[in-house]
Amino acid sequence: MSVFHTRITELLGIEHPIIGGTMMHLSREELTAAISEAGGLGILASANFQDQASFRQAIKNIRQKTDKPFAVNLNMFPARKRLENHLYIDVILDEGVGIVETSGHKAPEEYIERLKKEGVKLIHKCVGVRYAKKAESLGVDAVTVVGYENGGATGVLDITTLCLVPRVVDSVSIPVIAGGGVADGRGLMAMLALGAEGVIMGTRFLVAEECPLHPRVKEVLLSATELDTVLVMRSVGNTHRVWKNRAAEATAEMETRNASLQELFKFVSGEQAEKMYLQGELHAGLLACGQGIGLVRDIKPARDIILEILKEAWETRKRLKAL
Ligand SMILES: Cc1cc2nc3c(=O)[nH]c(=O)nc-3n(C[C@H](O)[C@H](O)[C@H](O)COP(=O)(O)O)c2cc1C
C-alpha cells in the first residue's frame, strides 16, 4: 500500500510516485528493474539499443528481474545513432510493455494513435506549459515537466521547477509528474505541495549501485555541489545541463567561439561519453547531471534510495503538520 497514493500511482500501477528518469547509456535493464522492483517506475531507454533483437532481450531481462510495471522511453531528440522509433514500437507492442514515455523537441503526434490503440499508457516529458497543453490535447495520459535545474536536456525556456510545476498543474487536467532538482524526500513533498502527483529523478539515481556508471565517476560525483554543473550545446540547439568536468568547460568555451557541431563532437559524442561511463575517464566526455547533485551524498541500491526518500518525505509531512 502506497504511503503517497496519487493519480500517477493509480494510472501506472506503482506503489510510490517516484519515477526514475530515462538516462541515455545508463538506463539499462539493471537500473530499470531495480527502480520498478522497489515500487517506483523504472524507464528503459530504447535509444541505447541499435537493433530490435537486443532491445527485445533487454525487456525480457527486466521481466526476469521484476514482475512490476516498467516503462520504455522513445527518444525524439536529435541523435546520430539509433533506430526509427516505429521499430522500437513494434517490439514494445509485441512484448506487451504497458507504459511509454516520450521525450524530445516535439510532441509525440506520430506515435500516439498506434500506442493508444493497443492500450499503452503514455507519458510525455517536456519543459513548458505550452508543450504540456499540446501533449494533453493529443491524448497522452500524463505529462512530466522538468525545470531548468534538471540534468540532461533543458530546452530553451529556462523556467525553474518551482515556477514551472504549479503553472503546468493549473494548465492541464491530466496528472503531472514533476522534477528538475528533486533528489530527496523534501523535494518529493515540495512537488506534491505544488500539485504534482509524482516526481522524476535522474541525477539521484546516477549513483545508484545498479547504475552502470564507472565507480570512479560515481565517487567524484559525491563531492560535487550545486555549483558543479554547466549548460552546454545551446549554440547547436540542443541545450543540456552536464557535470562541469574539463570536457564540459572546453565545450562551453568552444561554443563562445561558435564552434561547429562537428568540432564539438570532440567532446559531445556518445563514444567520448562511453569512455567516461565504462572506463572511468573523468574528463573524456559529457555526463548529464542536475543541480540536485549537491544533495547526493552516498552510493546505494535504488531500493534504499527510494526507501530513504519515502522516510524523509514522511518526516517532512510530520514537520509541516506541526507548524
Ligand atoms: C545522465 C543523464 C542522462 C539523461 N538522459 C536522458 C535521455 O536520454 N532522455 C531523456 O528524456 N532524459 C534524459 N535525462 C533526463 C532525466 O530523464 C530526468 O528528466 C532528469 O534527470 C530529471 O532531473 P534531475 O536530473 O534534476 O533529477 C538524463 C538525465 C541524466 C542525469
Residue 2: what pLDDT? 53
Digit-coded pLDDT (tens) for 131-163: 999 999 999 999 999 999 999 999 899 999 999
Q: Region 276-284: what's the mean pLDDT?
A: 96
pTM: 0.97
Q: Is the CB of 24 under 6 A from ligand 1?
A: yes
* Nearest protein Cα to ligand 1, atom 4: 23
Minimum mean pLDDT range among 63-72, 184-193, 252-261: 252-261
Using one digit for the tens of pLDDT, what is the confidence trace for 98-122?
999 999 988 999 999 999 999 999 9
**What's the rounded mean pLDDT across residues 220-239?**
96
Whether 29 lines ligand 1, by a CB cut-off of 6 Å, is no
List, for residues 6-20, the tens digit of each pLDDT value.
Answer: 999 999 999 999 999
* DSSP-assigned states of every residue in 218-257: HHHHHT--TTSEEEE-GGGT--EEEE-SHHHHHHHHHHHT
How many Cβ atoms sit within 10 Å of the Cβ of residue 130? 11
288 touches ligand 1 (CB under 6 Å): yes
193: CB partners within 8 A, 6+ apart = none
* Predicted local distance difference test score (pLDDT) of residue 1: 42
Residue among 172, 211, 215 at smallest CA distance from 195: 172
- Whether 103 is in the pocket of ligand 1, judged by its Cβ within 6 Å, is yes
Residue 273: strand, helix, or coil: helix
Distance 38 CA to ligand 1 centre (A): 20
Ligand 1 center to residue 73 CA distance, Å?
11
Confidence band of 77 (pLDDT split at 50, 70, 90): confident
Round the average pLDDT of the chain to a whole number and report it: 96
Rg (CA), the chain: 18
Q: Sort 85 into a burial class: Cβ within 10 Å, 0-12 / 13-18 / 19+.
A: buried
Mean pLDDT for 276-298 is: 97
SS3 140: coil
Q: What is the DSSP letter of 282?
A: T
